[in-house]
Structure 1
Amino acid sequence: MFCWLLPLVVCLSPAALLSDGTAEREDYKHGRPYQELSDGLPCSWTCLTFTLQWPGGFCQSLDNISLCSIPPRVNKWLIHGLWPMKVMRCCSCWPIFLSDVQEVQELLEEEWPSLVKSKSNFQFWKDEWKKHGVCAACVEGLNSPLQYFQKCLKLRQHFNLQKLTHTHVTMTPLGHVLLQAALVCCRALEYGGIKPSCERPYKLSEVLNVLVPLIGDKCEIQCITDDQEREVWFQVKIRLSRNMTVGCDHHDDHPRTTAIYKGHPCPTEGSFYYFPIDHQRPQQPCD
């Protein structure tokens, strides 16, 4: 048995070192290693942020907007990530392989594609797992790459910002509170009159009136300032407690957010734009 400190002890048998990695991948896929690595270490966080991004405004959030590319099939809000908040410590030594998420890969490509030219879909998922997923893995139901991404896809199904129909309202392991939140929402963006436009700016109160019944009043609507000094909506951060119920009281001071992205709360005074998606000119959809 070969061991080293990471700071947590990780041990590999000679067979594991000599194998093609299949057994190792299967162990990680089903969540077994975290129990071995954590050794009873409790979660250092109590809240998560489930973040959705709007492709029409996403490009403006990049330091180099020329890196942005929106695939032709993308025409809706996408997953950015599920991020534990106030993380003190977590294992950063848990690898992820494409085979770990193969059974949900098609859904991930639809709901969680990379919009950055230099980053493949899998690289995007891998980065999110390494930075955030491993921190969430101390909770049952999130304690493997597959379970983490499956949970994100279920959250995406519940939090459909553009349209909510009865087909989306089904009982799942997320619990009755999320189901109740979905039932309460009689209006999502499309039904509430909030539609992408280059001419029509929106006030924060207009957007919150539509979204709060669905995602709670502790959500954050994030904007970015474009090169013409316009406030552009590009992201929604939904506050969740550890048991995946809507709302949590901790402030979002997650230290592991990817540096390439930037943004701030949309202005409470004044207005902001909800740019349409332009696949040919993703960097300048309204110019």
Structure 2
Amino acid sequence: MIKKWPTFKRGGTNDKFWKETYEKYGTCIKDLTKFNTINKYYKNTMDLYDKYKMKEILANGDSPVTPSITKKYILSDVTSALNKGLGVNPAVYCVEKDNEQYLWEIRMCFNKKLKAINCGTSHENGDKCDSEKKISYPKFPPLVIG
């Protein structure tokens, strides 16, 4: 998990980040047997991460979106690549640093049978990307916040 889901908060530890993430999201689905412990939550979450290869999905869009230190993308290229590859609309989040907008997070939504579903426009808990600004998608890890 250190390679796939590290913290980017300055001074933060991975263990603290993972515990807080589980307490925020994992406890919401603990009634599902596959997710009813912290170990099961992360094992199954990592299985979903491996199943939905976002980097490949973004690269295979009609307008390929790939990590770059120079190229910037419009939000519709990102969302259309995700929709084409996933068949649903996930929630796309960006973070702004030094007057630049960075692709930060792609959140997929699932029903209780773990079928991917549209997240919808009311999906909260993050900073949506500004469609008026270009998006940077640097090679991993992009930046440290905080």
Q: Same fold (TM over 0.5)?
A: yes
1:111 and 2:8 aligned: no
Could you tell me which residue of structure 1 aligns to residue 112 of structure 2? 242
For residues 110 and 198 of structure 1, do their structure 2 counterparts lie closer, same or farther at Cα, with a shift above 3 Å needed? closer
| Distance (whole Å) between structure 1 residues aligned to residue 112 and residue 88 of structure 2 | 17
The 1:196–1:245 alpha-carbon spacing in structure 2 relative to 1, beyond 3 Å, is same
* Distance change (3 Å), C-alpha of 1:117 and 1:272: closer
Per the alignment, in what secondary structure is the counterpart of residue 110 of structure 2? strand
**Partner residue of 2:39?**
146
Whole-Å separation in 1 of the counterparts to 2:38 and 2:79:
33
Q: Is residue 206 of structure 1 aligned with residue 54 of structure 2?
A: no
Partner of 2:88: helix, strand, or coil? Answer: coil
Aligned-partner Cα distance in 2 for 1:141–1:150 = 9
Q: What is the rounded CA distance, in whole Å, between the counterparts of 1:207 and 1:157 in structure 2? A: 19
Compare CA radii of gyration and give the structure with the larger one.
Answer: 1
Work out which of the residue numbers 58, 65, 69 in structure 2 matches 1:189: 58
TM-score, structure 1 normalization = 0.43
Q: Report deviation, 1:149.
A: 1.0
2:88–2:116 contact (8 Å) kept in structure 1: no
Residue 221 (structure 1) aligned to one of 83, 86, 92: 92
Tell me if structure 2 keeps the 8 A contact 1:215–1:238.
no
Query: Letter of the aligned partner of 1:128 in structure 2?
Result: T
Q: Which runs of 4+ in 1 moved over 4 A?
A: none
State the SS of the aligned residue for 2:106. Answer: strand
Cα deviation, 1:155-204, whole Å, max 9, x if unaligned, reads: 101111113xxxxxxxxxxxxxxxxxxxxxxxx22344312223322112
TM-score (norm 2): 0.78
Q: Percent identity?
A: 20
Distance 1:138 1:278, change over 3 A: closer
- Give the SS at the match of 2:36: coil
State the Cα distance separating 1:117 from its structure 2 match. Answer: 4.3
The change in CA–CA distance for 1:208 and 1:152 in structure 2 (over 3 A counts) is same
Structure 2 alignment gaps of length 5 or more: none
The aligned counterpart of 1:232 is 102
Runs of 5+ unmatched residues, structure 1: 1-107, 164-187, 258-262
**Considering only aligned residues, what root-mean-square deviation do their CA atoms show, in Å?**
2.5
Map residues 165-176 of structure 1 onto 2, 5 A cutoff: none
Aligned 8 A contact 2:94 2:102 in 1: yes
Q: Which residue of 2 aligns with 1:272?
A: 135
249 and 115 in structure 1: CA distance in 2 versus 1, 3 angstrom threshold = closer
